Amino acid sequence: MLERSALVVAHPDDEILWFSSVVKNVGHIFFCFLEVEGDPECSQGRRHALRNLPLKQISALDIKEAGVFGLANWKSPKPTVAGLELRHTDGGLRREDVYERNYYELCERLREVLKGYRNVITHNPWGEYGHEEHVQVYRAVKRVQAQLGFDVWISNYCSNRSFRLMESYISGFRSDYVTVPVDKEFAAEVRDLYKRNGCWTWYDDFEWFNEESFIRDHGMEFSAAGRGHFFPLNIVRMELADNAHVQPGRRLQLLRLVARLLRLPEPKHGA
């Protein structure tokens, strides 16, 4: 899996959240999205963090996020060419148009940078805990795989939010996977770097699993049947009660305003 390998992740900190067991051993890491709309502090923090990331051979495609987190209907998710069907737009901006445009830009950029690799490790088709851009990155990698012929390996993370979509990919699936131990000390070191730069997007009390498994993607297809071989899952629990339909940048601005009024510690992106 690690021979002539590349890791393709959607956002900075995805590499250490979902791929910490292999992040030091892949040949190259590609980060797809950096700029967060409505949150210049997080965007700048990501750039600074990547400059100081204790990893070799990293590159940023530097595509702007589409701002679509939470816009898919996770109770009844519907895959599309570009990722997932979105439920609504934000004001006058058609998020689905930006989302689709990003997909084709990703395909074009990845087609160039992934030439010569034998193995590509990336997000799974249900987006780990359930992120529309993780799903999009997977679909872009799969489109490029058809042209370049490398093997695709996906992560084994899932959540109570994305479980239903995950079930739709086990029909007729052959469980061909590799399990790798996690370097928790290194993962915590990278997490602290992101936190110092104000761009850690996950729960502060997250504890890494002892192991991660990576499944070789033998042409996984969406199916309503939901029957087939299962595989090891690292399951995380999402807090589903929060308002997932407010765009992350705008939601963060509102939370920071409230924190200033109440003189509370300001929340960080992803909190």
Q: Which two tokens stand for residue 201?
A: 């997007």
Give the N- to C-terminal CA distance of the chain in Å, as an integer.
33
- Write down the pTM of the prediction: 0.85
Structural domain of 139: 5-241
Confidence tier at 226 by pLDDT (50, 70, 90): low
Confidence tier at 102 by pLDDT (50, 70, 90): very high
For residue 136, what are the CA distances in angstroms to 17, 64, 140, 172, 243?
A: 18, 14, 6, 23, 22
Helices (H) and strands (E) in the chain, counts: 7, 11
For residue 10, what are the CA distances in angstroms to 15, 29, 188, 255?
A: 9, 11, 20, 24
Distance in angstroms (rounded) separating the CA atoms of residues 128 and 134? 7
Domain-embedded: residue 95: yes
Domain-embedded: residue 261: no
Domain-embedded: residue 107: yes
What is the structure's pLDDT at 222? 67
Domain-embedded: residue 167: yes
**Which residues, other chains included, contact 240 with Cβ-Cβ below 8 Å and sequence gap of 6+?**
160, 161
What is the structure's pLDDT at 38? 84
Give yes or no for residue 264 having a pLDDT over 80: no
Going by C-alpha positions, the residue among 202, 255, 232, 198 that lies closest to residue 46 is 198
Domain-embedded: residue 57: yes
Number of domains in the chain: 1
Beta-strand relationship, 151-155 and 211-216: antiparallel
Whether 54 and 190 have beta carbons less than 8 Å apart is answered as yes
Domain-embedded: residue 140: yes
Domain-embedded: residue 269: no
Q: CA geometry: angle at 162 spanning 132 and 248, to 5°?
A: 40
What DSSP character marks residue 210? S
Whether 153 and 214 have beta carbons less than 8 Å apart is answered as yes
Whether 145 and 131 have beta carbons less than 8 Å apart is answered as no
Q: Is 62 helix (H, G, I), strand (E, B) or coil?
A: strand
pLDDT in tens, 27-83: 999 999 999 988 899 999 999 999 999 998 999 998 999 999 999 999 999 999 999
Domain-embedded: residue 268: no
For residues 164-169, average pLDDT: 88
CATH number at residue 166: 3.40.50
